[in-house]
Every structure is written in structure tokens, then in C-alpha cells.
Chains A and B, each alone.
Chain A
Amino acid sequence: MALLDVQGLTTVVSGYTILNNLSFNIEANELRVLLGPNGAGKTTLISLITGQFKPTSGKVLFAGQDITGKSPDDIFLAGISRKFQVPNMYETLSVYDNVMISLRTERKVFKYLLKRVTPEENDRIWEILEFMELAAKANDPADMLSHGERQWLELAMLVASKPKLLLLDEPTTGMTTEGKRRTAELIRRIARHHTVLLVEHDMAVVRQIAKKVTVMHQGQILAEGPLEEVVENETVQAVYLGKGGQH
């Protein structure tokens, strides 16, 4: 059974159909890349899966459980962690604290009240920070990080949250070419142990990590399959890749 199963998702916002009867699924331990031109509905799809918006119709099943229309915190607890397009973290907290409060633990207020960081948790935080090469800045407030480092910090937070499914919405936005390559490498490593759905625009990044891709266009799935096949697909070339790589 698929880990994430999206069935006939339709969203209509003030008369515009953003997603049109969209269905697709992701198997466990898969790294899937979601492609599509601007306005195809990629971010909307992620927002619907994570509970930011509610669909007009359709269902989202996660690990066999219906999560349609649940709140973002409940969907997180079910096992889906989301990376936003713009780095999104707690600005005044230290890098360490950002990762610390992202660890997957009990989230209820009164159970959290007397919680302390255990030695195991502390080790885990440092392990993640070292993996993301942020250990040297662990004690700096997050707003002192560079743009690229912020993207990595958010990735670190997501890894700390031990998700069953990671949704990454353009994690390389605004990075230099080198930064993008490094990020792609990090994502490839993260994907060894996680199921990842990656929304990405940059073809260099996609080529570096993708095996299977799904192409969206105007709120529908246009094509799905291995990267080499999909880029050969004429419809895909016409709507998304354009001529000579203009996108």
C-alpha cells in the first residue's frame, strides 16, 4: 500500500480551479520529485496535504489513515513534516534550540511542562547539526545565519522531527549554484532513510537526485515516470520545459 495516497483532490478558490481531480501516490522510502511550471498547483498540493487549506473535494490518505481536513499539528503528529519555500524557522532562538524543539516528542502542554533535554536527545541534536554542517553555529541565533544556512537549518529541523514523509517545497530557492549542489547532496543523503516528496524547479538539482518524477500542469498530473522518460515526453517539453530550457 502506498504511504501517501491522494485521491481525486479538487480545490476551487473564488471560481478558479487550482487542483482538478488530482490523484497520485508515493510509496514508502521513495524519493519523488514534483515538477511543474509556476501556477501548476504544486505548493497548493503540499498545503492541502499538510492541512493548511481544506480541499473542495477528494481525499488524502496517509499510511492508510484519512487525514483530509485535519489541522497542521495533527498531520505533523501523523508523520508528515513540511519545508516551506521561504526559510521558516524561529528567528530569535539559537540554531540548537531550533532543532531541539523540532525533535519528535509529546506535544501536549502539560506533558511538555516539565520536559528536559535528555542526553540521548542532546546527542541526536548534535549529530543532526554536524550532519548539516551547522554545529559551529549551534549557539548563534537563527537570524544571523545566511540564506543558504537557513534552508539547511530548516532541513535539520525536519530531520529532527523524524517524519514518515518529508515534503520539501523548493529547498534550493535563492541559493548559489554551489549551494544548490550541496543541498541536493544533503537531500540525497536524507532520502536514504526517509520518504521524500521534493518540489523543485532547478533542473540541475533534479538531475542530481531524481529517479522518479511527477509533472504537474494546471492542477493535474501530466506525466509520471523515470526522469529520462519524462523529459523525452513531448507534452512535457511543450508545457514545462519549453524550447532551449526556458523555464
Chain B
Amino acid sequence: MTLTLRTARESDRKVRRGRLLPAWALLLGALAVALIGTFPYYGGTDSYVLLLIGKFLCFAIFALSIDLIWGFTGILSLGQAVYFGMGAYFVALSLKINYALEHPTRYGNKFPDFMEWNGLTELPTFMKPLIYTPVAVLCAVAIPTFLAFIFGVITFKRHIYGVYCAVITLAEALILQEFIVEYQGYTGGFNGITDYSNYVGAPFLWFMLAVSVAFLLITRALTHSRIGTVLKAIRDNDVRAEFMGYNSANYRIFVFCVSAFMAAAAGAMYAAWVGIVSYLDAGPVFSVEGVIWTAVGGRATLIGPFIGAFLVRGLEFLLSGSWFADYWQLFMGILFIAVVLWIPDGLVGTIAGWLRRRKRGTIEQIRQEQDQLAHDRQHDWDPAGAPRAGEETV
């Protein structure tokens, strides 16, 4: 079938699209990786700042996982910490169990001390596989991903999106938090899990850096590709997408699982790095914090969540010694409101938009030009014999 009215010059047919990896991004990325990767050499391997940097990397991946679903697919999750927390708990439990094997408790038992306090006499059978690190790591990423799949099937297949979905995810986080506190014999309850050998140090920092870079590249490839365009289409207008043959629920479930996988991996590394995990790491407050980092850095920018997480958490650290620390949560709330009101695109989005405007003129200028063009064209297209308004009577 041919539709061609006129043959256009091939040179007209140019798709303007950003590169998969622009040179400036590669350069800045390499610089950031070098700066963080060499920190143990110029900052010392036992400094508190090193611990913080590792923590921030995990937080940044966590925020990236929120950006993938919120920024690119329009799913606002207020319970993303569920997946982070589960990943963290599996790894922490495994490390704790192994630690207890070599460091018996006060009464000589070779299982985690918090279990002993809660009246358990031996390690529960279902936790025994966690002795093996590969099993624990597999559980830490696979189980949250599977849970995300179940969650997706329950909500997205029933066309529950937007605010309702956000509320359900929030409930999810509350349930997990409650569960952790309630079953303290297995989870450590309010005290969390601590006192085990963690992996703080240069090699694990490099590992976390590598994972961060890998996740960034994967999400970039995913969102820049053809399927990424479909995800954005579903974000913009899921009804149109459904009537164009896309089963939007399936696409949402897919991206939600990828996001949960990344959050779980971040949680797993977090537990191995900092050496303490608590119920707060699986709760709604932490989830919302992740959303705030993403919003501050810039939604749908991928690098924004990294900048947001480092900036907000870094600021919190710098101000932690002052009187200001008491009002930190209040400040976070105000910050979120301010970002939503004044820079809804976040830092990265706003700067990128500003650069684009300098290159191409403001949206208003472009609109004006377009309007003028449309106006001119209406005058051009005025053939003899076309019916005038009011003429089309029967």
C-alpha cells in the first residue's frame, strides 16, 4: 500500500534523539566513579565518611528504582522500602547467623542472640539455608522481586493505578514494618539486627560502585529503547496504549519487578555494608524519603536520584551536629513542598530544561511561532468552493 503524496528528500527524514550515552555524561560519570572509588586512599578506610558514601550509594540505587517506576511509568510507590528492607533483612540474617556460629551467645548457643532473648532454643529450620551466602543473596533479590510480581498482578491487572496504588503500596510498607516488630524472635523486632561482621572497606565499595554503574546503564538502555518509549506512552495515556494493543498491566508489572529487584539489591548491599538493619529500613518513612530524593534530583532523569540522594543525605550529615538536626524531618517536608511548587522537574530536570531553552528558545516563543505558522497556513488553505461557516444546512 502506498500513501505517498509527494516524495520528500531523504534529508528531511531526520529523527532528533539524544544519544544513549552522551560524551559529557560519560566524562562526568567517570569523574564521579574515580572520585568515589579512590576515596579509601585519600580519605582513609575506617573514616565515617567512607561508611556514609557507601550508604549513600545504596540510597541512590534505591531512589533510582523509584525513578524507574515513578518517573518513566507513572507508578508512585510509597512502599518501595518494602523491597529494600526485605533484601537488607535476608542478608543481615545470613551474616548474623554466620557470625553466631563463630561467636556463641552468652549461654553458649550458636545462633543469633536476639532469638535467644525471645525464647527460641535453636535456629528455625526455614532459616537454615541462609547459612549459605549464595542462597541468602539469591533470597534477598528473588523473593522481593517475586513479591513485587504478586503485588503487580493484584493491583495493575485490576486497573488500580495512581493514588489508589500509592495508598496500597503505603499499606504494604506499614504491614511489613508491623510484621518485623511483631515477630521479633525472627527479625530482631525494634532493635533490628546488628553485631555481625560487615564488609566495609575498599573492595566492597568498588563492588557497590560497579553495581550502581551497571544499574544506571541498564535503566538508561531500558528507558532509551523502544520499550522505554512504550513505558512513557503508558505513563502519558494508558487508555490510548490499551486501545493500541498494549497490555499496560503487563508492562507495569515488568517495570515494577525490575524496580523491586534494584531496590532489593540496594538493600542487600546496604545490610552488608553498614552492619545494622532495622524495621525503619522497610517502613513508609524511608519510602517517602526515597520519593523526596527522586523529586529533588529530578524525575525521569536517572542521574537525578543519585544527585538527590547524595545531596539531601549529605546535607543531613553536615547539619547533624547543629541545632537544626532536631527539625530535620520538618525540613524534609518543607523541602518536598518547595520542590513540587517551584522546581517540579527537580534539579537535573530544571537545569536540563534551562539549557534546552537557551538553545531553542522558551516554550512560549516556540508556541508563538507555531501559532503563527498554523494561522498562516489557515489563510493559505482557502480553496474556492469550500463551504463557509453556517452554510452547511440540509
Contacts and interface: CB of A to CB of B under 8 A. Distances in A.
Nearest to B378: A178
B50 to A, nearest CB: 38
Interface stretch (B77-85, B94-102, B124-132, B237-245): B237-245
Interface stretch (A2-10, A60-68, A112-120, A211-219): A112-120
Interface string A97-134: 11011101001111011111100001000111011000
A50 interface: yes
B393 A146 contact: no
What size tier do the contact residues of chain A reach? 35 or more
Contact of B394 (A73, A112, A115, A203): A203
A223 interface: no
B394 A88 contact: no
Nearest to A243: B394
Interface string A198-210: 0000111000000
A90 B4 contact: no
B370 to A, nearest CB: 6
Nearest to A189: B3
Interface stretch (B31-39, B228-236, B315-323): B228-236
Nearest to A133: B5
Given A144-B367, A189-B3, A177 B388 contact: yes
A161 B4 contact: no
Contacts of B5: 130-131
A116 B226 contact: yes
B4 to A, nearest CB: 6
A112 B230 contact: yes
A29 B244 CA distance: 21
A108 B247 CA distance: 8
Nearest to B226: A115
Contacts of A91: 236-237
B387 interface: yes
Contacts of A115: 225-227
B226 A127 contact: no
Given A77-B245, A115-B226, A139 B393 contact: no
A203 B394 CA distance: 8
Given A72-B243, A135-B8, A135-B12, A177 B3 contact: no
B279 to A, nearest CB: 34
Interface in B1-60: 1-6, 8, 12-16
B389 interface: yes
A89 B237 contact: yes
B328 interface: no
Contacts of B247: 71, 73, 107, 109
A90 B232 contact: yes
B154 interface: no
B251 interface: yes
B246 A193 contact: no
A176 interface: yes
23 contacts: A73-B243, A73-B246, A76-B245, A82-B243, A89-B237, A90-B241, A92-B236, A93-B233, A96-B15, A101-B244, A112-B226, A112-B227, A116-B225, A116-B226, A127-B4, A128-B3, A130-B6, A131-B4, A138-B13, A144-B367, A159-B3, A161-B244, A181-B383
Interface of A: 50, 71-73, 76-77, 81-82, 84, 88-94, 96-98, 100-102, 104, 107-110, 112-117, 122, 126-128, 130-131, 135-136, 138-139, 144-146, 148-149, 157, 159, 161, 176-179, 181-182, 189, 193, 202-204, 231, 241, 244-245
Given A109-B227, A181-B383, 4 more contacts: A50-B243, A73-B245, A114-B225, A244-B393
